[in-house]
Structure 1
């Protein structure tokens, strides 16, 4: 040991012994270090063990000595986690660094090295430097905040070696790896490397943002280009949260191919990156979603899918003024995104001029072959400022000046006179300024076609930022340029590739039969009999029809005309793709109002007891439905009011889809299209039998792999029908086995985010897809619907992943039973799910109450919220993998005494986030469920939400799908009455020209009340005499709405607010003028969800369903005051 100390002098600043993180972590940390650490980029992120080290001439011997010292110390690989931010106080500045809270392992490495080389300096403090900041200043606090942001995602890795660095004088003095000494020479350990200085491009692959190799960039000539710049305003007084939706709308309004954003914070970067409006519109980015950026106000550039790029971060005027320089279209276009120094003093203006010239000099030197150069961003140039020709007498064209008159003042992107945010953030000068600009080098291929502003505040609304955005359209004026089409994914048929597994029709038939997945002839007959029995119940010769106020058990008035009802099965049973346990879906088309039909149907079904029974009436959904038990078969019944169609049912299907007979309200057509789409498929499919066999096979695969449950955002029968039908039409001569193979081959690499699923040969019209729809599977007939509207980014990722696994299984020659997880020797998909993730979110649910209806409501409420929990987790944790198993699970133990109580749990697997989840997300979700008095009663139910490690799940083999069955067989308690039945006069689907029906209620003569006899004077609601307490029935919300809306004496309509129950958010408010009553309107909300009416000006509650308060009519409890 003494020989080492005497032989090696630790006096060389060209060598060092360090520990370095893996390349991805270096790159992540170096973004921040690049702006704040004076040693970056010569040094990558590292822990210093010895520096200075030995002279370069002694490195060979020193390496041997270092290896011997580590071998003697018997150091073993260990994990290190950077979870602390601290600082050293030095003479003129503070050094801010990251450190592990448990540094003992690093000290165990340092001790033998220091002893071997005779180190006599200060004690070892493990630290990874982020940068230097002025002592006790805001910059020091800022760097600490950035450090804390950086360690929020897990900064951990396994340390298995130390590295000797040596300075490379031929590369700017960069410290490069000379040698790596592993702790265990017999172990296989990934070689260390230093992260490249350049910055990656991020690409959204349909699931998440990932770094993308520049060597893989597709490219095609650009003949036009829309470029936008937008300063989004970072100001603590005006946080992004309340403005984010407006910002997204403004960005969408620009319709840009390339958008350059300024003043982007870490939080906004994360929020926008994960928003469908962004990743559905843009595919390439200069930033990763969880990046900790250099400053508080940062640049960010996004481009559409056909505009990939490479880029570099260039600094001007010091490290705090970065410029994003993009190389587009194989380097023919170079673009600089900028944000120059603010201020209008002469000194600041000179600085801006110098910054512009520095950028231009860099652009002109980047690639001499570039034909087009662009500078775009927030230049902070005052309106009067013009750019002089630069080096080489290069002319720079100002896009706005090229397309507008010189005295046109409308180009001011910062206008305190019109923009309230600009007024509030302006410090001195309140004059409008054209700060945001695009400059184009004259003489290139592109010319300016147009320039306009976006994000301009509409009347009555505020702008999203203190700046308006500028959007410029550039057109290529070189008409002789040969155009090369952009490579696109072909949707046409491709040759069938036969898998090595036996997927003959006979093999698939045998598999389905073995697993009891094909209904027997007895099953089919029973379902047919159930449909026929229901048809006879509903279509019996009508003698009575219900009034809108009568209960379903009271006598009904005589109908003045014959009720015509057509009952048709639809869905999987009608298409022949159902399983034995599948429900039967039925559609009724008739010539009466929906209100009348549901009352009539419920009465007739009750009279037919016990052969038919009502399980549940789903009246709160967009499409109302009766769940029935008919002859022991579960039937879901829906209704479509269409008088002329019901009268000409048989001949209607020989008419064109656009025939006037199908001119129905959108709400009616959506229900009817379940039958129309099915008929179209039945008549057009090349081989219905092959389709049916393939459909059942694929559906079983999806079911076993946990991607079947449409209400949670996964697939359902209709989704598989459309997906498979597309494949079937492209492979018209294929057998069932070949269709299965083609299905997996087609969708294994499908771009779900960018490409909608349609059946081109049958589709009846276009569909405007929202950026908030990560999956679009479109119906056939108009109005076109996305039947997968409930899908989320997390569920789409799971669907895509499992389909890829199925495709890989086919290519590898595995049996179909093995692919589906049906072989005992193969790990089932559920078993794989239970061990695939390091941790899970577990949602426990127990219910021991005797009211089964309330129990089912609680389960339904909880399950309806699980999708939202996925979204909240993804929003909090970023683009990590989340997998919700779409079934309730239970751990079956033989020692547990069986009970009739529900007790199970749901699981969400988490990958890519190995630390503890933020408790606020789980606690908020838990309290939302527990806080719902409508569904949750702590005296008979229990729900808990928490994170568990994989090993804490217990014996995986004992975790199974919950077999629990409700004691009442799933029959809800019958409601006493319907408080708010819609009367024919107010029924939004009631067409008096088409329906001549007049109910008995409308024939009754009622005495009208005089206005002065109302309990509350209508000319001054709630003003005047206080209504006395009343024991009368509370007037309906529809009555109150009509009074406030249409009574000319009720006051200012804009002053009234409706509080209503949102199924996801709880009680929400909306102005009475914005309330939509039309069912086909996407903003329609039924009246029974109304909780209260109030006056906006003073907050007074006028009507409240919960307390039976009514200050409008004086019904219920009147004003809530007990009678004297």
Structure 2
């Protein structure tokens, strides 16, 4: 469209111009004055107009104010009058238009008009009246202006097609805009007819703009080639697929390019096709819908891709409203039309594609207006040629029905169109062409049609040539291929009429097909539905079957003979034979480390579909929509406060704020913390100081509380309460990551982008791992349900507590993800849980690690030590083993509980999955005769100090267990991950809480159940072991009491002793929450700045101005000045890299072999020493831990080359010379 230029009236303006005394006649159909929707809204309207409005594309979507309008030669005069009148009134605000209801202009004979209009059209009517008066006219007597935007026409207002169309137009989502100008349209005559073009516009404030040069058009010029055999992509009807978002319980658009959906290695691909038979009477009956869904969900219909034909708005809404359908097929080409922001399906009969796999799709138009094909492209499945990945393409078709010359010709033309399009657009891709071809196959039907002369010999020849056409295109008929492999072309070996074998539409066996055939006289069985495969050496047909045979009693009878559709469904399973399979297969080294996963079916009642979901509902584990909304509001509040959007309207925030952990994976529960990661260009101290300042300021008007600031070896964290939701706020100083977010998450681990300090990498790791998991998990809904059940089980059984060396959320996630990726796709959540227990119950924990072979394909960048009894490996550095804190005791406890759960499932005694989630604390207290009791008391120090003391004790428990297993191997033990109090103490605590007294007082204990670690121990050996154990407990007591930072004998006490069960008394688990601090009770700062604050990514000068202003304010008040950090990737001469950086570079750079390097360090007693880098310990809890500030140099073994030296500040690894 040409750029409009403003013009002005040649008539001088007057303060109150009067309309001309000569009215302009409004009689010309060559011009019009109209309101046009904004360009962004036109496709939504044109998708229906293109099919139902005869005026499309001659007219754009429009609301006529005046039509007929003035003659073309009078346009300038008319526009000047309108402009002068509008300017004199001085109203510059636009007119609000909201198309929110449907209406009909009924004609007595034919061609009713269906339109959209506004519930409130007074503004449009008032504008029209002003324009009429300016032209010297007035509203016609007896005629009231009806604002409308025409969407289509129909013939008979009493007929079903008319009512269906009115319903469809009524489903168009609300279209709303502010009309600030009126369009002047002029008809342009052409050889093929006429089209309305834009002459100019008149603003509601009187501004006039004219089109320069040629009049502006609204649609691209060009012939669609409807008279030829070519086909093209219909950009108007093509769209994005949808997926169901569980948190909002809405279908939302999915863009495959947003997330790299990395698909795990698969061996098969299954495609199914089903014509569901639409209802053609108004109102449409929904009686068959549940039976159709039941057939689709049947085991013999389960597929990776499902192609449906004759889908209507009502049926699609019913289908996508079914939870089992959403679980089975999370992706769909179209969304439910009943959702207020989703458009109706374009046609009455539509093709819809559902899939387990992500895909994008396009619509290919055929010759007839309402016919076309949906072409879906699956980026996760395909073959590679010379490094180019060619995804599998599925073409879904529904060809014209009928056995006439015209119908046969249309079928042949449409087949040539779709195959020609695929050959041109996807020449080397594997194809699958599936759907209802409506090609008559019965020789008896063809012979009868020839005798009746309903088809010619030429048409019969065309029908016979279709199979050859498919063969010439290398398209294999899946039914024929599978039947040939079975050695039979017939289902039962009986003598059948040629062309009726494998029939998918059979009026002799299907009552619905018989009813449909009664009117047309076609009573022979036909193989209408087909799946054609062009494998290109990648797809090989292996199985073929039909489905749709489930029935229900016919109305008024007891006979179960009512089928769901008049067609049988068909399904084809193909083997994937990749010529480059070895490239993606794990290496021999990895293959030797893989513990295979074997699918284990859930037994008995546990195998019932939906039984896991029912258990989660009964246990009240699944969050409600209101809880999800509350969390979204809390996260939004945190973003607003940290970014200070109210006072600093910066267009590009300096911070990235994103949820991580269970929240981002969608596996959270109401009891889960909200984990939030911030990424930015500031130093850690600056961020947390200013964040604390803003949060405290916002707490005056928002439900925000700062509970405490935690400083640990992993970095700093703020614990917050946002509207009652416990929130952990972490920060990673990484300028480049923030600037390239979220694209940075798609870069490989070896990219220089990730050359960051270990502490920063550890902060970023949850976001990286979440991104990979979301992209690679086969079925998120099944994973989420299984994870929630497993976590509830682990909590109840006392093995879910990372601080005690037991399972954590990330370990459960990694273990479950590995199982789901290694079992067949489409495995139900019930079978997934059963397989999880059966696999890990027999897992060789001592000599094998849990890892994802789909990610670690070449080698494991991890060396296991003898001190790690359990290894559950993550995906990204710096610390791969997420179970490094596990002791032999905790590892054995986890393994025993998994075996116990496996055995209970196999016994078949469980009626529901909820019975598996039984509390284990009672069994723990009764299952041991002897315990180690860690008795703790605190008083008079406040709730914050008490919580700090208890947290410190719990953090040292893992060390005690490790010491016990090393010094007293003859004794085994299990620690319960919780505090015990006497029942009297608990009762008193509750009374104290109610009275707000004694809130900081606690008296309770931690228990370790003891048992013989070795069978056949004698009494004397046991006495020796108990003596050694008492020595361990004595040393533990002395170490704890000697820590002056946390232990104050004036307000707390701790003792460790061995007791018998009878000495425990009546105990119960302490349910009080001790994790809350007040802002004034933060932990003390350490003497030194954390290493991450010297190794940040730089204080970016292009950051958020408000952060810089706040920093300057703090500086004036005498606050600490943040240390300026430098981005070493930008200039590698500004700073000498730390020992941690050098160590990480050697360990994680694929070009360096860490086993070839030594660490030189200063020993406090013997001076300079050397140690293999692989033996260097970085965990502070490890006995061999050495602080990194004692590292002197790193040296290569082979030639003695020093690659990093602290004293001379020499760094060959990064090139930073002093």
Q: TM-score, normalised by structure 2?
A: 0.40
